[in-house]
Each structure stands twice: as structure tokens, then as C-alpha cells.
Structure 1
Amino acid sequence: MPDSPAITALLFGLRGCLVEAGINPKPQPTPGALQTLDWLSQQQVPCAWVDELTSADAEHLARLLPAWIKAQYHTPNPWPAPDACWQALMTLKTHTLDGCVLVSGEPRLLQSGLNAGLWTIGLATSGSLCGTDSQHWQALSPQEQERKRGKATLQLFALGVHSVIDHLEALGDCLADIAQRRLKGERP
């Protein structure tokens, strides 16, 4: 991963982004999630996860994550309202939207991030658009993987996200790309 992400704050979706939940009865971190969070912690990038779960369900899934990552799981206005993103950034004591990024595979949460004025990164293969966890993904034929990846990528770009990656293991390079785009004056 690059040395410095030049990111102000990073928000993640909980389900399907940091934690696999749904198909697999026992939740587990998504591939690369713990390594990515460790790298971001070393870089001192403030991070939070966002979800619309009840507190009990959210805490059950989040127990798999490092304790330092902040949580935002209750807002008065449901997604795609920007409230959850803004509240998460306030929890992180972020003073500017400049350089704030949301990563998720959930279209409604990504729309919330776009509505909040954040950079957005969509997850094509580990998000809800593919409808599978990493174990089931590996069991698909290469042709079926490519079909699902392509369909999800098109849907994410049609939504208006700024970048699309397959999974969190590709996040470092994507953040470096966003940093370069910011240096050139591009805004979300």
C-alpha cells in the first residue's frame, strides 16, 4: 500500500464492506478488512463505519473489528439522506469535508455519501450488488464472476461513485489515485 493516503477521514459501510454478513451464518471480516484498518491506523487516518442496523446487531458484527474504529448506526433520517455520513464525521471530529471518503458496496449508503459531498469508492465484488460472500464468490466460475463484477461496476458508476474497486485489498492504490485527483483540483 502507498505510504500516505492524504485522506482526512475514511468512512466504511459495515455489512458487506468490513464484515461479511447475510449468506454466511457466522459473520467474519471481509478479505483485507483487518489489514486495511491496520494500515489506516498506522497512517493515523480517522475511520468510522456506518450502518442502519439496530445497536445490538451492529455491535454483534462490529466486535470483529478493532476497538479504535468509531461507529455510526442510528440517524433520524434513513439513507440516502447525508445525515449518517455527517454524524460519523462529527464523531471523528473532522473539521472539513475536503479529503473525506466513503467506501461501500451498498448503493443507498454510497448515495448518502454523494449527498454529503464525500468522495465515494464502490465495492464491486464484495458489496451487496454481487449478493455473495467471499467464499461463494470463489466458488463461481470465472465467467460468472466477470458477469457479476461487470454488472455491479456499471451500476456503481451509474450511481455516480468516483472510483470502483473489487475489494478492500485494492483500497490503498485507489486512495492514492483520489489524492492525485485532489492535487489536480478535482472535487467530489
Structure 2
Amino acid sequence: MRSTPRFMPLQIAKVVDFSAPIAGVVDTIAALRAEGLKIGSCSGYPRPVMEKLVPAAAAQGYAPDHWVATDDLAVGGRPGPWMALQNVITLGIDDVSHCVKVDDAAPGISEGLHAGMWSVGLAVSGNEFGATWEEYQAMSKAEIATRRERAAGKLYAAGAHYVVATLADLPEVIADINARLAKGERP
């Protein structure tokens, strides 16, 4: 998708205003790194936006080991496997079946599947849920449950192996995936 000439400068200027990590992300990433995991990021943002976003997020505690912008690769982005596989190559991971692709939208789930990875959907903190943190806080429990169920359905329909509410739930999923890998299962 191409941005209009007027949109890109606005997006670049405003992205830092929305760079705060989602609650639980910094601690979860730290816990995963303590287990020896490497963190790659596949972004739907183009490189000029990422060049502003990455330092702003890092200043708030989130910095992946490597990131790929949607326009970095000539072959394209999601739902193809290319951005996820570029992270694998750059991070020096030798078995894609031991990788986990986490995403909040169906094209990202497809990306992970196409790359041969375990795919985990985020049902509450992301695109499919469709609300800001402030909007979420104002919702009734019934609306949250309805939106979560709808988002989870879309992510499972896209092929997700797992769907969790937020990234904070990921360590339990990683433990389950490790147990499945130990039994010889693959994505």
C-alpha cells in the first residue's frame, strides 16, 4: 500500500506520539530475553516512519534485536514470509520451526505460517480488537468479551496456533510450544 504524499509527513511527525509500549510488553520482552530468545520485529510501517518510531520506543524500554519495515524488501511484506524470514537470517536462527510470529492482524498470522513459524494472535491489544487503551478502559465487560471473541475468531480463522489477549500472556505460550517441540511437533 502506498501512502499519499501528504499523509507520510504527517505519519512521520505523529508516530512518536503513539510510541509508548503496550502495558506488559517491556517486562515480557525482558523475560523472554532472559530465557535466551531473540526478538525480531516486522512492521507494517515504512522505513521513514520506523526510523522515528524505533528510537522513541527504545527510550521507553522496547527495542527489538532487529526490525524490518514493510518497504525494506523488494519481494514485499505481509502476508508473504519475507519480513519474518529476514529477521531469522539477520538474527542467525538456524531452525525456523523454533520461531514464533506474534501479530495482532490476520496478514501477520499468515506471514508467520508462510514462514514456517508458530503463529500467535493478540486478541485484545491490537488491530483486530480495534480500540485504543482509553476506549478499552471505557468499555463494558460485555463489549470487551464480544470484541475479544470476534478478534480471536479472525485470528484463528487466519490460522493462528494460539490466540492470547496481550503479549503479557506470551511466556505461557512459549513454554507450551517448547514442550510440543520437545515431543517432535512442528508448526
For normalisation by structure 1, the TM-score amounts to 0.82
CA contact (8 A) 1:48 1:69 kept: yes
1:67 is displaced (CA, Å) by: 4.3
Structure number with higher helix proportion: 2
Map 1:12-161 onto structure 2 (within 5 A): 25-63=17-55, 64-65=57-58, 66-67=62-63, 69-73=65-69, 74-76=72-74, 77-161=76-160
Separation (CA, whole Å) in 1 of partners of 2:95 and 2:180: 17
Distance of aligned partners of 1:150 and 1:47 in 2 relative to their CA distance in 1, 3 Å threshold: same
1:116 is displaced (CA, Å) by: 0.7
Q: Which runs of 5+ in 1 are unaligned?
A: 1-21
After superposition, the CA RMSD in angstroms is 2.0
Separation (CA, whole Å) in 1 of partners of 2:115 and 2:44: 16
Separation (CA, whole Å) in 2 of partners of 1:151 and 1:171: 20
* Aligned partner letter, 1:168: L
Bigger relative contact order, structure 1 or 2 (CA pairs below 8 A, ≥6 apart): 1
Larger C-alpha radius of gyration, 1 or 2?
A: 2
Separation (CA, whole Å) in 1 of partners of 2:21 and 2:142: 26
Separation (CA, whole Å) in 2 of partners of 1:36 and 1:144: 26
Segments of 4+ in structure 1 off by > 6 A? Answer: none
Separation (CA, whole Å) in 2 of partners of 1:114 and 1:171: 18
1:25 is displaced (CA, Å) by: 4.7
1:98 is displaced (CA, Å) by: 2.5
1:184 aligns with 183
CA contact (8 A) 1:103 1:122 kept: yes
CA contact (8 A) 2:41 2:64 kept: no
Separation (CA, whole Å) in 2 of partners of 1:156 and 1:26: 24
Q: Which runs of 5+ in 2 are unaligned?
A: 1-13
Secondary structure (helix, strand or coil) at the match of 2:186 reads coil
Aligned residues: 167
1:61 is displaced (CA, Å) by: 2.2
For normalisation by structure 2, the TM-score amounts to 0.82
Identity of aligned residues (%): 29
Distance of aligned partners of 1:81 and 1:149 in 2 relative to their CA distance in 1, 3 Å threshold: same
Distance of aligned partners of 1:98 and 1:26 in 2 relative to their CA distance in 1, 3 Å threshold: closer
